[in-house]
Chain A
Amino acid sequence: MVDATPRMHEGISPAEVPELELYHPKGWWTTYVFSQDAKIIAIQYAGTAMAIGLVALVLSWLMRLQLGFPGTFDFITPDAYYQFITMHGMIMVIYLLTALFLGGFGNYLIPLMVGARDMVFPYVNMLSYWIYLLAVIVLVASFFAPGGPTGAGWTLYPPQAILSGTPGGQDWGIILMLASLILFIIGFTMGGLNYVVTVIQGRTRGMTLMRMPLTVWGIFTATVMALLAFPALFVACVMMLFDRLLGTSFFMPALVEMGEQLSYGGGSPILFQHLFWFFGHPEVYIVALPAFGIVSDLISTHARKNIFGYRMMVWAIVVIGALSFIVWAHHMYVSGMHPWFGFFFATTTLIIAIPTAIKVYNWVLTLWRGDIHLTIPMLFALAFIVTFVNGGLTGLFLGNVVVDVPLSDTMFVVAHFHMVMGVAPILVIFGAIYHWYPKITGRMLDEWMGQFHFWVTFVGAYAIFFPMHYVGLVGVPRRYVEIGESAFIPPSVQDLNAFITVAALIVGFAQMVFLFNLFWSLRYGREAGGNPWRATSLEWQTPTTPPPHGNWGDERPVVYRWAYDYSVPGAPQDFIPQNDPWPQKAVAGTA
């Protein structure tokens, strides 16, 4: 048993940076509701994100029911179908994935992993959550507004997004959507400043940048990217809101609708696409980089081996982050761009594959001859690697202009991005929850429910998205409510669609088991102790579990080593915590 209490060592002067003045809550409301404790905020973020994610899950069932069994369900009108796909996409990408990775895991893990007592600006951090919640409420309100939510597709391309032919276009739907995004971005910026500055200024003694776990590196880099990329979405949303409400023509060309000349004129829809994808592509990596970081830590811990090529892993994260800002137009190959631009963006897109491949090789090499424990977090981490490689490979195809143009707007694209930025990050989220749940609650999640959840989700996700590639290859377009009779689409596609729908329903059900497990284990789970995975990073070395407000008792921990000292020859155990001064201690003991 490791002595996890923080130690005071002779010869070490107190930290040069003054300790943060912690806000001490006085009552129940300020402790659990309007809390400034990053850990509570993290749970609030995660709970809200999962709740709204559940809505998106139900929406995906509804749209799959329509695709699998067209015409069977009367309430799924074409308008409703468009609203389902739009809200499903938007919620999953922004309100679930971004919020859960950065707001949830960022808030919980950054202060603990770098040895801080809390985020550096706790009040702003609290505001961040409440504005996020407001954004979610505004988003949900659009379901109840006259005309329902927007059905413009998650990319919200003008001019159709604000025309009367699109559901919510001339009603409240699009207005609430844009308002909600603007709120989300304001709230995120507040949180994002915290995550970045805490990594820069909140690290404890000895925690140099290169001793930080890769989880922190992933979240840190993703946050920096998000801070620079979200303004593009902000600008696009504000300008479209002006077009819709004040009659400006930023994105609206002169056009005739239903035989009537509209008052718009002179706007450029392509301008919106540039702004949207200048945000949209980094967004892929904003979701992927935290996943990369977390999965590195899961693999290293559960294979009892140091991560292979730590430096390369860090550099790859940073390089991917930088490169992701110059690839955005590969989403716009069919918008009529100069061939040289297409060539440029195809090249940069393919170059990103290099650092990404480095990461995949390093994960595999970490596993190589490791002491692999097939725990639930490890299963999810392994599933992530496989899924990410699959999704990444189709990305290489789509990154080339000549391949992309015929495949554009087909189900192939849907299958690709669901594999690479839908299923893959979600698998990491699950793995991370199974991994850190013991730290958050003090209890383990139930193993058997976990096994069931993993296998159904993993196999089911492939049953859904593998066939979808074929559906796309034969030419089935995305966003069509019904295919109808087309000469080039064989009738067997319909059978495949029905199969995918059944698989989607089953996978959705497995998530209910997971949610049940979260609540059930809170009460009946096995007691975990402080460090059930025998992990090295600081969050497992807190004096009490779950960590209290302030995290560290009287003294912040002092860090002596990097986060990956597993199976070190000669060490008393197969892991050495970051705050363990071994071998100094052993030498002192024998002397």
Chain B
Amino acid sequence: MSVILVFILVVAGFSFWWLLQHRVLSKPWLEHGVHAALPETDISNMPTAKIGLGIFLAVIGALFALFASAYFMRMEYSDWQAPPLPRILWINTGVLILASVALHCAVRAVRERRMGMTRLALVTSGFATLVFLAGQLTAWRDLSAGGHFLDSNPANGFFYLITGAHGLHILGGLVALGRTTAKTWDETLSTERLRLSVELCAAYWHFLLLIWLGLFVLLAGWAGDLVALCRQLLT
């Protein structure tokens, strides 16, 4: 359960920092009188949707940290037999990075109000993401063609489960990306609203890319080496 504990620690650290920023050390019972005449507000200027997405990403992070925790716990058993890593995963990773980069370009374009460029970047990103999903399905086919079925051993089960869960999240993101892309043709919409949508998509993609990189390391079996290295350094 170490992965999820580290994750919770990070979230808790951030939460405590945020609370301290919001004066949880103050004494509210002494606080009326002079400055009560002009009550301040400590609401952040950040758009509410971004904060909402940030918290949602934390939930997704917890979900995958738990998958990773379960994976590690099962890995420690002596009969662990990880399936071979399908080569296509390398290409898929590259494609997903491309999608993320394209979205980054979209954010820059929409900030500079270049509509054509925004549209192009969004479509490119959506297309690259579809290729990624197709690539993941191909990876599944390769594995099952090699006799590594879902139910043949727990390591295989984890592979399909974790990649599947990640793919479903990407698929959900594609719905939002599709809607955002459609918005670029809507003349009545203000650029502010469009910009927010694009930024939200980009944040989601970057985060899911980060998660995928973590999962890739996990599924490739390097995570074990990494942990061993850390242990050596610590002891």
A8 on the interface (CB 8 Å rule)? no
Interface string of A289-326 (1 = CB under 8 A from B): 00000000000000000100011001100100010011
Q: Which residue of A lies closest to B156 (CB)?
A: A248
A16 x B41 contact (CB < 8 A)? yes
- How distant is the Cα of A399 from the Cα of B93 in the complex, in angstroms? 46
Residues of A within 8 A of B19 (CB): 209, 318
Question: At the interface, is chain B mostly helix, strand, loop or mixed?
Answer: helix
A471 on the interface (CB 8 Å rule)? no
A249 x B43 contact (CB < 8 A)? no
A208-B28, A268-B74 known; A249 and B151 CB under 8 Å? Answer: yes
A227 x B59 contact (CB < 8 A)? yes
Q: How far is the CB of A585 from chain B (nearest CB, A)?
A: 11
- How distant is the Cα of A248 from the Cα of B1 in the complex, in angstroms? 21
B66 x A271 contact (CB < 8 A)? no
Q: Which of A36-44, A75-83, A194-202, A496-504 contacts B (4 or more CB under 8 A)?
A: A194-202
Within 8 A of A (CB), among B8-37: 8, 11-12, 15-16, 19, 22-29, 31-33, 36-37
B216 on the interface (CB 8 Å rule)? no
23 sample A-B contacts, Cβ–Cβ < 8 Å, listed by A number: A11-B37, A12-B38, A16-B43, A207-B41, A208-B22, A210-B22, A211-B31, A227-B62, A228-B8, A228-B59, A231-B66, A234-B63, A246-B150, A250-B158, A265-B153, A266-B79, A271-B74, A274-B73, A278-B4, A322-B12, A325-B12, A562-B31, A564-B29
A6 on the interface (CB 8 Å rule)? no
A271 x B73 contact (CB < 8 A)? yes
**Residue from A234, A263, A558 within 8 A of B39 (CB atoms):** A558
- How distant is the Cα of A102 from the Cα of B114 in the complex, in angstroms? 44
A242 x B157 contact (CB < 8 A)? yes
Residues of B within 8 A of A205 (CB): 39-41
B161 on the interface (CB 8 Å rule)? yes
Q: Which residue of A lies closest to B151 (CB)?
A: A247
Residues of B within 8 A of A315 (CB): 24
Q: How far is the CB of B18 from chain A (nearest CB, A)?
A: 9
Q: Which residue of B lies closest to A563 (CB)?
A: B28
Interface string of A316-340 (1 = CB under 8 A from B): 0010001001100000000000000
- How distant is the Cα of A565 from the Cα of B30 in the complex, in angstroms? 11
Using A208-B26, A235-B67, A274-B73 as known contacts, list a sample of 19 further A-B pairs with CB atoms less than 8 Å apart, ordered by residue number in A. A11-B38, A12-B38, A196-B55, A200-B51, A201-B43, A203-B41, A206-B39, A209-B19, A210-B24, A227-B55, A228-B8, A235-B66, A239-B70, A242-B157, A250-B158, A250-B161, A268-B154, A314-B24, A560-B39
- How distant is the Cα of A322 from the Cα of B8 in the complex, in angstroms? 9
- How distant is the Cα of A519 from the Cα of B211 in the complex, in angstroms? 51
A466 on the interface (CB 8 Å rule)? no
A17-B41, A235-B67, A275-B66 known; A311 and B27 CB under 8 Å? Answer: yes
Interface string of A544-584 (1 = CB under 8 A from B): 00000000000000111110110000000000000001011
A166 on the interface (CB 8 Å rule)? no
**Residue from B15, B37, B56 within 8 A of A193 (CB atoms):** B56
Within 8 A of A (CB), among B46-103: 48, 51-52, 55-56, 58-59, 62-63, 66-67, 70, 73-74, 77, 79
Within 8 A of A (CB), among B95-152: 150-151
B228 on the interface (CB 8 Å rule)? no
Interface string of A204-234 (1 = CB under 8 A from B): 1111111100000000000010011001101
Residues of B within 8 A of A89 (CB): none
A120 on the interface (CB 8 Å rule)? yes
Residues of B within 8 A of A541 (CB): none
A16 x B45 contact (CB < 8 A)? yes
For the complex of A and B, the 7 pairs showing the least CB-CB separation, nearest first, are A206-B39, A562-B28, A248-B157, A247-B151, A231-B63, A210-B28, A560-B36
Residues of B within 8 A of A248 (CB): 150-151, 154, 157, 161
A456 on the interface (CB 8 Å rule)? no
- How distant is the Cα of A263 from the Cα of B153 in the complex, in angstroms? 11
B186 on the interface (CB 8 Å rule)? no
Q: How far is the CB of A428 from chain B (nearest CB, A)?
A: 24
A267 on the interface (CB 8 Å rule)? yes
Using a Cβ–Cβ cut-off of 8 Å, how many residues does chain A contribute to the interface with B? 65
Q: How far is the CB of B17 from chain A (nearest CB, A)?
A: 13
Q: Which residue of A lies closest to B29 (CB)?
A: A562
A15 x B70 contact (CB < 8 A)? no
B235 on the interface (CB 8 Å rule)? no
Residues of A within 8 A of B32 (CB): 560-561, 565, 583
A15 x B41 contact (CB < 8 A)? yes
Interface string of B156-177 (1 = CB under 8 A from A): 0110010001000000000000
Residues of B within 8 A of A249 (CB): 151, 153-154, 157
A193 x B12 contact (CB < 8 A)? no
Interface string of A259-279 (1 = CB under 8 A from B): 000010111100100110010
A121 on the interface (CB 8 Å rule)? yes
Residues of A within 8 A of B24 (CB): 209-210, 311, 314-315, 318
Residues of A within 8 A of B39 (CB): 12, 205-206, 558-560
Q: Which residue of B lies closest to A263 (CB)?
A: B151
Residues of A within 8 A of B165 (CB): 238
- How distant is the Cα of A559 from the Cα of B23 in the complex, in angstroms? 16
- How distant is the Cα of A477 from the Cα of B220 in the complex, in angstroms? 46
- How distant is the Cα of A228 from the Cα of B15 in the complex, in angstroms? 13
B154 x A267 contact (CB < 8 A)? yes
- How distant is the Cα of A565 from the Cα of B32 in the complex, in angstroms? 10
B5 on the interface (CB 8 Å rule)? yes
B66 x A17 contact (CB < 8 A)? no
Residues of A within 8 A of B66 (CB): 231-232, 235, 275, 278
A531 on the interface (CB 8 Å rule)? no
Residues of A within 8 A of B190 (CB): none
A35 on the interface (CB 8 Å rule)? no
A521 on the interface (CB 8 Å rule)? no
- How distant is the Cα of A239 from the Cα of B157 in the complex, in angstroms? 9
- How distant is the Cα of A311 from the Cα of B25 in the complex, in angstroms? 7
B42 on the interface (CB 8 Å rule)? yes
B44 on the interface (CB 8 Å rule)? yes
Residues of A within 8 A of B58 (CB): 227-228
Q: How far is the CB of A79 from chain B (nearest CB, A)?
A: 29
Interface string of A91-130 (1 = CB under 8 A from B): 0000000000000000000000000000011000000000
Residues of A within 8 A of B1 (CB): 274, 278
